[in-house]
Chain A
Amino acid sequence: MASGYTGKILKVNLTTGTHSVDQHDDAWYRKYMGGRALIAYYLLKETKRGTDPLGPDNLAIFAPGVVTGTNVSGNGRNGVGGLSPLTGAFGNAEAGGYWGAELKRAGWDAVIVKGKASKPVYIWVNEGAVEIRDASHLWGKDTGETEDLMREELGDALVRTCLIGPAGENLVRYACVVNDRSRFAGRTGIGAVMGSKNLKGIAVRAGRGVLAVADPSGIKDVQKWLTQNLDLVHHFYDVGTAGGLKGLSMAGGLPTFNFQEGSFAGADAITGTTMRDTILVKRDTCYACAVRCKRVVEVKDGPIDVDRRYGGPEYESLSALGNNNGVDDLIKLAKANERCAALGLDSISVGMAIGWALEAAQNGLLTDAETGGMKLEWGNGDLVLDLIERIATRNGPLADLLAEGTARASRKVGRGTEEFALVVKGQEFPMHEPRIKHALGVGYALSPTGADHMHNMHDTGFQREGRGHKIMRESWGIKAEPVQAHGLDDNKMEIWYHFAHWRHFLDVVGMCHFLPYTPEHLTQLVSAATGWDVTKEELLETGIRAATLARAVNLREGYTHDADVLPKRMYGGFRNDNSPTGKAMDAAEVEDAIQRVFRRAGYDTEGRPTAATLSKLGIAWVSEAMQSSPATVETKRELVFA
């Protein structure tokens, strides 16, 4: 009997209105496990090269992993994926909450949706029963109202939902997927993939379903360790992810005015500490998690109300919408975060797209026809709120332009605005400055989803000897000395190689990156959940396999090695020289570091995994599946900024 997984993958064809079940043997599950690897597997197997991400032949994939749904802190993660409308290649993001665990407990390892419904629909998964239901009355509604209406018509207040808002319906290329109202698979625009299929969402109810695990006591042991060591993550509970915003600003690593500067004069007003001391009303949590890191904020009885049901802003949202656009009004930023949640927008990409427009306007490079007469200025929270509403519905010329994403917008406008597009493979930078974290910059260049900070290493976490170095040495046997603030030497890149691939692994099995588990803990967890006698080396290889499969999707879709680059701004200084610890990167040094990663991973100098590497990873079939064509490569030129 299967443990840790259910053995059933739900496949829904919205064109025909039918569904079926995919089943795989135990060896398949041990190889792919879920999440990122499962998503890449199905994209390579069941989509063709050059498939339109917004066409019916793309897949919208919802994939927890073998740890999701087990009773251990950090388990409540699920991936979503498909071919990305933003990058035109591998699209994938993760979210916490309850939905993924509910899906597993309902008896499903993943949901894969193909085709396009003739009218808006949602999928109702009620334990083993699957139904495609009319969603015409839900189309156009916010995510919160949609969840309320779905629960009402299904007659069950405990139904868990995974939805899109108006942004996904209007095919905004960075529309996100919202589960449990306040959890977001934000990046790469999978919300628009759902919108293109007329799919409003998936509602799930597990009833009394319980996920079978091989060794409950093994899982309990890890949960016990976590509860005895909650001090390691107390800061997430206390001030949340935005607790470090002020430090970044003082160091000159806080993206400000679209990465022109690194310090923000208004930082104190929007930190996690300030939020805790002002508008925070509660800490929320995810399925079976003892950490309780999620912010819940509320504002009432003033000119702006903020609805607590959408949770509260994390660091990325505060930073992308705030300092990146010069906004230091915490209440307006909390409202902007709430509206992104309700409308289904990735708060990072929308904040960056607005920042690009503000910098273009700063330089007088947008015409009145392009702005629709809007006055664009830094530091205007009302403008950010207005643009968020407009972008979600493509209301007006500027909003319609920005809904295409920064890369396409800058190509369309031209006139030198391409210099302000902080993107990799078409995806906007998240809120971490590579010029204070050079290895993170390499990670941006190499990430299969475009610039990403999660399956990545943050140099600053390894500058002083600490727990991370100890884990690196004891678990992986590498030297792992404290890293230099700048540069990309072998010591740093060896840590990067293990750290980034381990995070790919966490995204495969459905484990939160913020939990302080060691590789030994995860080895115990996966073994206890599945009954497999796994080793930590096998798990690291699972992460490497996932990254390789995702890269194979990108290779097939035309991203050759010359797309593994950073935009020019990273090779220069900061405006007003206001970054005390930042330093320009060096293009030759970045390329040299990338080549070392390629050699380490068993890729050739063009970043293609060799036949021997694919064979070693047990995915020799990918050699054929990753083949591209000159025409496909050409389609990606507009999304590469060097």
Chain B
Amino acid sequence: MRVRVKLHGETKRGVQGLTGDILEANVADGLTVDQLLAELGVDPGDVWMSAVNKGVVKQDHVLADGDAVEVFAPVSGG
């Protein structure tokens, strides 16, 4: 299946070959959000929360073909 992933903040750290914020990936069916992030090389310690199709999901949420995934890091000030 194919998913679109937008990485925010430090969640981009460690993802090889990423030039902007967004990537599209062909991945195995039945993958969870956490499994997807592991495949992409995202450090789980950098992740606070994820959303699929604009709704907050748990990290063990199972993805479907065409899903738009967003991954956020914690926010602490500014």
Which A residues form the contact surface with B (CB < 8 A)? 231-232, 234-235, 238-248, 250-251, 273, 314-317, 430-432, 453-454, 458, 460-461, 463-469, 513-514, 580-581
- Residue of B9, B54, B78 with most chain A CB atoms under a 10 A cut-off: B78
Which of A273, A432, A580 is in CB contact (< 8 Å) with B56? A580
Q: Which of A231, A243, A247, A454 has the most CB of B within 10 A?
A: A247
B73 in contact with A244 (CB, 8 Å): yes
Q: Is the CB of A453 within 8 A of B77?
A: yes
Least CB distance, A226 to chain B, in whole angstroms: 15
Least CB distance from A501 to B in Å reads: 16
Instruction: Give A453 to B76 CA distance when docked, in angstroms.
Output: 7
Partner of A461, one of B14, B21, B76: B76
Distance of A477 Cα from B7 Cα, bound (Å): 33
Most chain B beta-carbon neighbours within 10 Å: one of A231, A316, A430, A466: A466
Is A250 a contact of B13 with CB atoms below 8 Å? Answer: no
Q: How far is the CA of A515 from the CA of B47 in the complex (A)?
A: 18
Residues of B within 8 A of A581 (CB): 49, 56
- Chain A residues within 8 Å of B76, by CB: 432, 453, 458, 461, 513
Within 8 A of A (CB), among B36-70: 43-49, 51, 54-56, 70
In the complex, whether B8 has a CB less than 8 A from a CB of chain A is yes
| Chain A residues in 8 Å Cβ range of B30 | none
Give the CA-CA distance A241 to B72 in the complex, in Å.
13
The interface residues of chain A lying within 8 Å CB-to-CB of B54 are: 250
- Tell me whether A246 and B72 are in contact in the complex, defined as CB-CB below 8 angstroms, given that A232-B10, A273-B21, A465-B44 are known contacts: yes
Most chain A beta carbons < 10 A, residue from B12, B13, B75, B77: B75
Q: How far is the CA of A244 from the CA of B9 in the complex (A)?
A: 7
Known: A251-B56, A513-B77. A243 touches B46 (CB 8 A): no
The CA-CA distance from A242 to B78 in the complex, in Å, is 7
Given contacts A244-B9, A250-B54, A466-B43, contact A315 B48 (CB under 8 A): no
Q: Does B45 contact A240, Cβ atoms closer than 8 Å?
A: no
Q: Which residue of A lies closest to B59 (CB)?
A: A464
Q: Distance in Å from the Cβ of A429 to the closest Cβ of chain B?
A: 13
A235–B75 touching, CB < 8 Å: no
C-alpha spacing A617/B48, complex, angstroms: 37
A247-B49, A250-B72, A251-B56 as given contacts; A241 in contact with B78, CB under 8 Å: yes
Residues of chain A within 8 A (CB-CB) of B14 are: 231
Q: Write 24 A-B pairs (CB below 8 A) sorted by A numbering.
A: A232-B13, A234-B12, A234-B13, A239-B8, A243-B9, A246-B8, A246-B70, A248-B75, A250-B49, A250-B56, A251-B72, A273-B21, A314-B78, A315-B75, A430-B77, A453-B76, A458-B74, A461-B48, A463-B74, A464-B44, A464-B45, A466-B44, A466-B45, A580-B55
Contacts of B48 in A (CB 8 A): 247, 460-461, 463-464
Q: Give Cα A385–Cα B43 distance, bound, in whole angstroms.
A: 41
In-complex Cβ contact of A239 among B9, B44, B47, B55 (8 A):
B9
Q: How far is the CB of B1 from the nearest CB of chain A, in Å?
A: 23
Contact A454 B77 (CB under 8 A): yes
CA distance A36 to B75 in the complex (A): 24
**Quick one: which of B54, B55, B56 has the most chain A CB within 10 A?**
B56
B10 with A234: CB separation less than 8 A: yes
Are B49 and A244 interface neighbours, CB within 8 A?
A: no
Q: How far is the CB of B76 from chain A (nearest CB, A)?
A: 4
- Say how far A100's CB is from chain B's closest CB, in angstroms: 19
Bound Cα distance from A580 to B51, whole angstroms: 11
B44 to chain A, nearest CB (A): 6
User: For residue A254, which residue of chain B has the nearest CB?
Assistant: B75
Q: Would you list the 4 A-B pairs with minimal beta carbon distance, nearest first?
A: A466-B45, A241-B78, A247-B72, A315-B78
Which partner residue on chain B sits nearest A470 by CB separation?
A: B45
Tell me whether A461 and B74 are in contact in the complex, defined as CB-CB below 8 angstroms, given that A273-B8, A581-B49 are known contacts. Answer: yes
Chain B residues with CB under 8 Å of A430's CB are 77
CA distance in complex: A431, B77 (Å)? 8
Q: Which of A246, A431, A432, A465 has the most CB of B within 10 A?
A: A246
A458 partner residues in chain B, CB cutoff 8 A: 74-77
Across-interface contacts of A240 in B (CB, < 8 A) = 78
Given contacts A461-B48, A465-B45, contact A231 B13 (CB under 8 A): yes
The reply to whether B78 and A235 form a contact with Cβ atoms under 8 Å apart is: no
CA separation between A619 and B56, bound complex, in Å? 49
- Among A243, A251, A453, A468, contact of B49 (Cβ-Cβ < 8 Å): A251
A73 to B55 CA separation, bound complex (whole angstroms): 38
* Most A C-beta atoms less than 10 A away, residue of B9, B14, B77: B77
Contact B77–A247 (Cβ < 8 Å): no
B51–A250 touching, CB < 8 Å: yes
> Which residues in A have their C-beta under 8 angstroms from that of B21?
273
Complex contact A250–B45 (CB within 8 A): no
Best-surrounded residue of B21, B43, B45, B47 (most CB of chain A within 10 A):
B45
* 11 new A-B contacts at CB < 8 Å, known A244-B74, A454-B77, A464-B45: A235-B12, A235-B13, A238-B12, A247-B73, A317-B78, A430-B77, A432-B76, A461-B74, A463-B74, A465-B44, A469-B45
Taking the nearest CB of chain B, how far is it from the CB of A56, in angstroms? Answer: 34
**Residues of chain B lying within 8 A (CB to CB) of residue A431:** 78
In the assembled complex, the Cα of A241 lies from the Cα of B76 at a distance in Å of: 8
B60 to chain A: closest CB distance in Å? Answer: 13
A50 to B14, CA, bound (A): 54
- Separation of A466 and B45 alpha carbons in the complex (Å): 4
- Assess whether A235 is in contact with B73, with CB atoms less than 8 Å apart: yes
Bound-state CA distance A273–B22 (Å) is 12
Instruction: Please encode chain B, from 16 to 42, with 1 for each CB lying within 8 Å of some chain A CB and 0 for all others.
Output: 000001000000000000000000000
Which residues of A are found within 8 Å of B51, using beta-carbon distances? 250
Q: Smallest distance from the beta carbon of A468 to chain B beta carbons, Å?
A: 8
With A and B bound together, what is the CA distance between A241 and B73 in angstroms? 11
Pair A250/B9 contact, Cβ less than 8 Å: no
Residue of A nearest to B12 (CB): A235
Say yes or no: A250 contacts B70, CB within 8 Å: yes
Chain B residue nearest to A318 in the complex (CB)? B78
Contact across chains for B13 and A467 when beta carbons are under 8 A apart: no
Residues of A within 8 A of B75 (CB): 241, 243-245, 247-248, 315, 432, 458, 460
